[in-house]
Amino acid sequence: MRTIICEEPGRLVLEDTQRQAPDEGYVQIRIRRIGVCGTDLHAFEGTQPYFNYPRILGHELSGEIVDANGAAGFSNGDIVTFIPYFNCGVCIACRSGKPNCCVKINVCGVHVDGGMREYLNVPAYALVHGNGLGYDELALVEPLAIGAHSIRRADVKPGEFVLVVGAGPIGLGIMEFARIAGANVIAVDVNANRLAFCREKLQVNHVIDASTENVSEQLALITNGDMPTVVIDATGSLKAINNSFQYIAHGGTYVLVGLQKGDISFSHPEYHKREATLMSSRNATREDFEHVIASIRKGWIQPTNYITHRLAFEEVVNEFESLLHPSKGVIKAMIALD
């Protein structure tokens, strides 16, 4: 089968690899769509934490079951996605209902080889029914679930101001689920095109261009001096993460979704006087996946709006690097195997 391997930072190769029958407890999926994630791009750049090479990238996936291998509730021909965070089931996180942060987690395409290939064997417990959604929509469920999980972590309430820093695909998903939760959403980015997308496609009423505007002043104006009660970072930029501590309302919550390698630094007195809550949000759970699929089916989200670029599988090796160029205006690239 055709397989794309990231041999080292900056180098993808297309190889013919052996297709293996699924082991007990696994099913085989014929991959139809691969969403290109920031994780994939960071791995290609060599900036992704917890990463080793060579690695087959890809975890935003959808496809068709070709060998159900006795999996309960699934049959050959079913259209599916799956939860790509493979967990041990026995550690303290798993026992606490938090398999998304399993002590021994293996994320597909990060810790173990992913889906940039024609066929992939996945644990049956990770499967998610397509429920009538198309391949494009199903490949976007995972990144949207990350956004849904962060909003659930923050316990967002109707009417409160939620600031989302970073208008990439993950940030956009966070904005969508903040809106669904009834929040007043504020988007901050340095990319005018991304902010325009927020206004035009997501109906985000408040956008701030951090490259030309004083963010703190604008937030004070928008919130009548209160500042946002929830701040969520979706940049993975150390500078942006550190700066955002100053945006939290007194009694507010700061959620870190973006990930970077450095050490966070902030003023303890400024943070302490706010009695603020700092938390991380990692991956997502089945509850979040189901919430995303239900939201798409109800028409609350139009995930295909995010797809700005499409690639055929055979184009990936030569075209992948170009997705990193700001001039391309990529929001979400989708790879098709037909």
Tokens of 77: 């021909």
Would you say residue 287 lies in a domain?
A: no
232 and 308 share one domain: no
Exposure pattern of 14-33 as b/e (b: 16+ CB <10 Å)?
A: eeeeeeeebeeebbbbebbb
User: Is there a contact between 61 and 34 (Cβ–Cβ < 8 Å)?
Assistant: yes
| Total count of domains within the chain | 2
Would you say residue 243 lies in a domain?
A: yes
Q: Is the pLDDT of residue 326 over 90?
A: no
What predicted TM-score, i.e. pTM, was given to this entire model? 0.95
Would you say residue 74 lies in a domain?
A: yes
178 and 208 share one domain: yes
Q: Stretch 73-93: mean pLDDT, rounded? A: 97
Cα→Cα distances 312→32, 138, 337, Å: 11, 18, 7
User: Is there a contact between 259 and 235 (Cβ–Cβ < 8 Å)?
Assistant: no
Q: What is the mean pLDDT of the chain?
A: 96
What is the CATH number for 12? 3.90.180.10
Would you say residue 220 lies in a domain?
A: yes
User: Is there a contact between 184 and 175 (Cβ–Cβ < 8 Å)?
Assistant: no
232 and 194 share one domain: yes
130 and 16 share one domain: yes
Sequence-distant (6+) residues with CB within 8 A of 293 are 128, 131, 133, 141
Residue 259: the pLDDT is 86
Q: Stretch 11-31: mean pLDDT, rounded? A: 97
Residue 179: the pLDDT is 97
268 and 312 share one domain: no
What is the CATH number for 201? 3.40.50.720
Would you say residue 38 lies in a domain?
A: yes
Tokens of 97: 């209902």
CA gap 99, 105 in Å, rounded: 8
32 and 79 share one domain: yes
183 is in which domain, residue-wise? 147-280
Q: Is the pLDDT of residue 48 over 90?
A: no
Would you say residue 289 lies in a domain?
A: no
Q: Is the pLDDT of residue 50 over 80?
A: no
CA gap 62, 292 in Å, rounded: 15
Residue 328: the pLDDT is 87
Q: Stretch 97-104: mean pLDDT, rounded? A: 97
94 and 6 share one domain: yes
Tokens of 56: 């087959």
Q: Stretch 172-189: mean pLDDT, rounded? A: 98
116 and 176 share one domain: no
Residue 209 neighbours by CB distance under 10 Å: 16
Residue 24: the pLDDT is 97
Q: For the chain, report the end-to-end CA distance as a whole number of angstroms.
A: 13
177 and 101 share one domain: no
Q: Stretch 323-327: mean pLDDT, rounded? A: 89
Q: Is the pLDDT of residue 173 over 80?
A: yes
Would you say residue 68 lies in a domain?
A: yes
Would you say residue 293 lies in a domain?
A: no
